Each structure stands twice: as C-alpha cells, then as structure tokens.
Amino acid sequence: MTRNSFYIKSTAQISIQQPLCEDWMENPIWYDSNYVRSLEPDYKQYIPPMEARRMTRIMKRSLTTSNVAIKKSGLVLPDAIITGTGWGCMDNTEQFLEILCNEGEQLLKPTLFIQSTHNTISSHIAINTCNNGYNITYSHRCVSFDMALFDAYLQYKFGKIDSALVGSHDEVTPTSFVLLKKMGLVGCDDEICGEASVSTVLSSTPSDAHSAVAAIRIIYKPSVSEIHSTVNQLLADAEMCTEDISAVMVGISGNKTTDNLYYDIVDNCFRDKTILHYKHVFGECFSASAFGFYAADCCLKHGYIPDFLYVDKSQGMIGTPKTILLINHSDGKTFSFILLRSV
C-alpha cells in the first residue's frame, strides 16, 4: 500500500469570518481595520460551562474546532494530535507576567501558570477527547501549521499512524498586536491582523474525503533554483507534473516586505499559473497558513474558487480545481510547499 495521499476527512475554523461554517465562500466579511479579533461561536453549545470557566479564548476556540472536526470526520480517536502555534496561550501568558511584575513574584495564580505554555493547547485537546496517542506541539512562527502537518504526513507515510488531528491556533491580544506591529510582523501597510483556529482530521481511508495531502516539502533559505528543484521533487513525490497544478495559493497579505517574496517566486516559477490568495479574507497571524490549507480544501471540496481569491482575475479563472499548490514562508527563511489534490 502506497501512503502518498493523506486524506482530509474534515476541517473546522474559527476566524474573523463566520465561525464553524463555510459562509465565507459566498458571503465574506470585509474589514477596514488592520486588527480584528475572531468571531466567537456560542461556546455553551460545545463546552460545558464548568469546564469552560478556566479556558481563555484560544483554548475554547481550539477545543471547539477540534471537537467539530473530529465529529465531522466520524473518527472518534485519531492516532495523533499534532498542533501548531506561534505564540501559544498569549492571554494567559500576559496575565501571568503582569501578576509576576505587580505582585513581586508572589501570589501567582496557578491556572495562569499551568495554562500559559505553548503545549497547553495540544494537551488540553488530548485530555478533553481522552486521547492518549502521540501528542506534540510545533512552534515555528509562520510555518507552525506547516511543520505540524509535515510531521503528521511523515508519520503517516512511514506507517506510524493512520489518522491525525492537525490544528493550528493563535490569538492576538491587543498588547501582542502592538508588539507584533512594531516588529513589522503583522498589521503593516494594507495587511489585516486576524486570529486563527483551524483543525483538520486526516486519515488513510479515502471514504467521504474530498481532497488529500499529496506531498509536502519544507526548505530553509532556498535559492530560486532550489525552489524550482523542490517543486519538481514535490510533484514527483505525488506522481504529477507542473501542468497538473490547477492553481498556486500564496500568503500575500498586504505587507509589502513579505509579499515581495511571494511575487518573486511566482515570477520565477509560476508565471503561467493561476495565483490565489487568502490572507485578505482571514487575516495574518502566526497560524494564518492553516487558512491557506483550509481555503484550498474548501475549493477542492466544492469544486470552485470564489472570485475574490484570485490575485489577478484578468489572468483567467479556472473551472473545477483539481490540484492546488500552497506556498508559505516564515521571515523569508523557511519555505513550505504543500500539494493538495481533489479525490
């Protein structure tokens, strides 16, 4: 049995678009502000109040998207829970540090201490879903989701697991937004800073799946020729050729500095391809690349691409997409290439 395709059984998102649904494909919400917080669902429908009382927003979001994705997939107990997050539970971390400073390192609240680490999210999902399987957190700035998916894909490819819950979650508090903006990481130029919580369940069985991860490659500080060869290797891994790529989805966000890197890749490697983007819809944050994955999966599942995802509609719109190549980078250093195909 070849294990090249890891089938996407389900996805769920909470973002600056309507939560836990795919309304954004027909009726996206547009924002004028460059800092927008996620639209929250009614968590009482998903988490008992006595359990929810200790959870901050990111914990409620991640648990809800995870449980919804698990339920939709029909898989009760995925073999692995693999999570990406850039800054983890920032709200708890900020509160903990504030008390640490104000109380002279005395009288620290245990809940904030326990729940301020990056791996809080993944372990919390495991405890809530009674899952004792492989559990790990990847914190690699803007490629955190890509790293989590890469781990799941490799473990699947080498026969270690047959299914996985992969997610990426980041919250952007008002304080962290100010800091990230000063660092030039979010909210620059025309960019919208959002928040992300995306969960997906992947499985070895294609039944009920509409799309699959066909190949992944991640490289560090590549030259143009290395990007060319990586894409060729990626396509070879999936037994495809360049002509098979329906569209290339990139992380253009409105930040001129980081966008130029995508334009360079497109100009050098994909001049004839249809280019798509998604961060103008979902916003930028460390976990934003998970929205690229989610949006591409939605397009493959529904068999069409909303016109607002095209970077340049004059290039021509495509019919039913069959294969979408996702390209993401973190700080212009680490580049990821993820190939999704319809099933």
List of residues contacting another protein (CB under 8 A)? 49-50, 53-54, 103, 107-111, 114
Question: Which of residues 54 and 313 has its CB atom nearest to another protein in the complex?
Answer: 54
CB of 109 to another protein, least distance (A): 6
Q: What are the DSSP calls for 177-228, one per residue?
A: HHHHHHTTSSS-TTPPB--EEEEEEEES--TT-SEEEEEEEEEES--HHHHH
CB of 111 to another protein, least distance (A): 6
Question: Which of residues 99 and 343 has its CB atom nearest to another protein in the complex?
Answer: 99
CB of 47 to another protein, least distance (A): 12
CA atoms within 13 A on the CB side of 152: 39
Question: Which of residues 111 and 135 has its CB atom nearest to another protein in the complex?
Answer: 111
What backbone phi and psi angles, to 5 degrees, belong to 228? -55, -50
CB of 81 to another protein, least distance (A): 22
Question: Which of residues 76 and 108 has its CB atom nearest to another protein in the complex?
Answer: 108
CB of 87 to another protein, least distance (A): 22
Tell me the CA distances in angstroms from 101 to 113, 172, 180, one per residue in order.
14, 21, 21
H or E stretch including 166? strand 163-170
CB of 37 to another protein, least distance (A): 19
State which amino acid sits at residue 105. E
Q: What are the DSSP calls for 196-210, one per residue?
A: EEEEEEEES--TT-S
Tell me the CA distances in angstroms from 331 to 86, 203, 328, one per residue in order.
13, 31, 10
Is 81 within 8 Å of 125 (Cβ atoms)? yes
Question: Which of residues 60 and 279 has its CB atom nearest to another protein in the complex?
Answer: 60
Say how many Å lie between the first and final Cα of the chain, rounded.
17
Question: Which of residues 1 and 50 has its CB atom nearest to another protein in the complex?
Answer: 50
CB of 53 to another protein, least distance (A): 4
Question: Which of residues 50 and 101 has its CB atom nearest to another protein in the complex?
Answer: 50
Q: Rg of the chain's alpha carbons, rounded to an integer?
A: 19
